[in-house]
Amino acid sequence: MARDVHDKYWNPDIETMSKDEMAALQLKKLKKQLVYNYNNSLLYRRKFEEAGMKPEDVRSFEDFQRIPVTNKSEQIETQEESLKELGHPFGPGTITCAPQDKIVRLNATSGTTGTPTLYALTQHDIDIMNELQGRRLWMVGIRPGHRILQGLSLSMFAGGLPLSQGIMHMGACAVPVGAESGTKRVLEFINLTRPHALFTTPSFAQYLLEQCPKLIGKPASELGLQWLFPVGEPGAGNIEVRKLLSKGYGGVHICDQTGGAHSGQGEECLEPPEVYSGMHWTAPDYCLLELVDPKTKKNIAMKDGAIGEQVMTFLDWEGTPFQRYAYADLLQVFTEPCICGRTGIRFKIIGRADDLLIVKGVNVFPEAIKKEILKFTPRVTGFFRIVLDKPGPAVTPPLKVKIEYGHGMQQNDIKMLEEEMLKSFKEVVRVTPQFMWVPPESLPRESKKTKLIEILSS
Ligand SMILES: [Zn+2]
């Protein structure tokens, strides 16, 4: 498809398709994909058997919803069984459906907890990923001629090689520096190559802000960046994080993007209303989204404002297609059309279903704590850890929060600040935490995903 730099959409047919037409396209692709999954994965075949169904019994989305969900631990278990029995992790018992001689790339989740889940991709799948990256970057105004510096882990994770390929595919210029090369080198390469956009985790972006004047002798606001993609962990959906980063990088445009395994769904468009209104689901023709109750796994209707656990089914994929895969992210969806003209749904990530903490019956997500803490910068640095005596979700109060006070704060200032913060926490988060104050820059900064929770007993 020949595109002009002034074109508004990367793929206008899909991005502005009517809801009914999209649903019909999804159902058609779904039926075909289910036959493929049934024939190539014993795990998926078992799901059909549990529901007493065959792929040809699926005539509607309602029929489809009778098939039990698949979860990450099933993926890992079957991956490990295959490794033991066959000497590789892609046997017929797993969710990998393509024969090995068609697999040309492996991706993985970052695996911050436990075994990484692997995704095998065929060339066909890589072409899809590139198409989806094209839609997302184009949406925010990235065009050929723009340089994009990759300040995430440069590897098999979504922000590594897959992102490099996606950037190159859409015609922009990838600058694959990588977070592992270190803070100084990332900053030096920004200074040297003058990228228009930077991909990094929100916490690393925050750290770069802090270190920039020290390491390259000028503030981050003078780096000349036009776009910042704080990705890979929650943050860009957090209004306080956005304000902090946007200001720190000289009024840069903050773009929330999510990869979600390898299906490339989310990007925020350039024309959101005043407040953050979520990301567009950019892959409706390649990934069917459902919401379910996190406990019962029963479907929740996709009405405007609905919240539920994200369940994904890939459409037209070969390697490792998800089938009703419960992803443990809690999403809120918005079905009203966007002013940018895109017709599909938008969504916000509310939290990880498994990060949920329950303090005296009150549901608390670490992101909510972060949002509240950031309101008090620069009297706090914004870096903190939630400290648990044992793994959640149930927390015996008080909720302990190790938190850095800001530079130049005296004992008395901290005392006053704490009173103010406790009042605000009680009102907004509805819990009264116990703050454990530590000096600025004493908590570890990580260039990869920062764990906001620290568990003492493990
Ligand atoms: Zn939009």
The values of phi and psi at residue 33, to 5°, are: -65, -40
What distance in angstroms lies between residue 241's CA and the mean position of ligand 1's atoms?
21
Distance 339 CA to ligand 1 centre (A): 6
The torsion angle over the Cα atoms of residues 130, 136, 138 and 139, rounded to 10 degrees, is 160
Q: How far is the CA of 14 from the centre of ligand 1 (A)?
A: 14
Q: What is the DSSP letter of 249?
A: T
Please tell me the distance between residue 346's alpha carbon and the centre of ligand 1 in angstroms.
8
Cα–Cα distance for residue pair 120/368, rounded to 1 Å: 35
Backbone angles phi, psi at 201, to 5 degrees: -75, 155
* Residue with the two structure tokens 């910068």: 377
Please check whether residues 374 and 320 belong to one and the same domain: no
Domain range for 202: 125-352
pLDDT recorded at residue 35? 98
Specify the pLDDT at position 278. 86
pLDDT of residue 388: 92
Within this chain, do residues 343 and 412 fall inside the same structural domain, yes or no? no
* Dist. CA 274 → ligand 1 center (Å): 13
> Cα-flanking dihedrals φ and ψ of residue 130, to 5°?
-65, -40
Q: Pairing between strand 299-300 and 307-314?
A: unpaired
In a domain, 1, yes or no: no
3 inside domain? no
The secondary structure element, H or E, covering residue 164 is helix 161-170
Ligand 1 mean position to 132 CA, how many Å?
Answer: 16
Is pTM beyond 0.85? Reply is no
Neighbours of ion ligand 1 (CB under 5 A): 269, 338, 340, 342
Q: What pLDDT digit, counting tens, does each position of 403-431 carry?
A: 999 999 999 999 999 999 999 999 988 89
Say if CB 334 and CB 306 are below 8 A apart: no
Residue 194 and residue 63 in one domain: no
Q: Do 85 and 187 belong to one domain?
A: no
DSSP letter for each residue of 266-320: EE--S---SS---EEE--TTTEEEEEE-TTT--EE---TT-EEEEEEEESS--SS
Read off the pLDDT of each residue in 322-338 and give the average, rounded to a whole number.
90
Q: Cα(398)–Cα(386) distance, rounded to whole angstroms?
A: 11
**Residue 111 pLDDT exceeds 70:** no
Query: Per-residue pLDDT tens for 206-216?
Result: 999 999 999 99
From ligand 1's centre to the CA of 8, what distance in Å?
A: 11
CA of 100 to the centre of ligand 1 (A): 39
Higher-pLDDT residue of 133, 327: 133
The predicted structure's pLDDT at residue 276:
67
- Report d(CA 366, CA 371) in Å as an integer: 9
In CATH, what number is assigned to the domain containing residue 436?
3.30.300.30
CA of 368 to the centre of ligand 1 (A): 25
Q: If you average pLDDT over residues 216-229, what whole number do you get?
A: 96
In this structure, the answer to whether residues 148 and 271 fall within a common structural domain is: yes
Cβ(197)–Cβ(226) below 8 Å: yes
Higher pLDDT, 173 or 328: 173
**pLDDT value of position 101:** 96
| Element at 81 (helix H, strand E) | helix 72-86
Q: Which of 67-71, 356-360, 395-399, 438-442 has the lowest mean pLDDT?
A: 356-360
CA atoms in the 13 A half-sphere facing the CB of 240: 15
pLDDT at position 264, please?
63
What is the 279 CA–ligand 1 centroid distance (Å)? 8
Q: Are 423 and 313 part of one and the same domain?
A: no
Of 72-86, 107-121, 354-368, the range with the lowest mean pLDDT is 107-121
The yes-or-no verdict on residue 13 having pLDDT over 80 is yes
Same domain, 410 and 393: yes
Residue 201 has pLDDT above 80, yes or no: yes
Phi, psi of 169 (to 5 degrees): -60, -40
Query: How far does the centroid of ligand 1 lie from the alpha carbon of residue 275, in Å?
Result: 13
Q: Are residues 220 and 303 in the same domain?
A: yes
In this predicted structure, what is the pLDDT of residue 256? 87
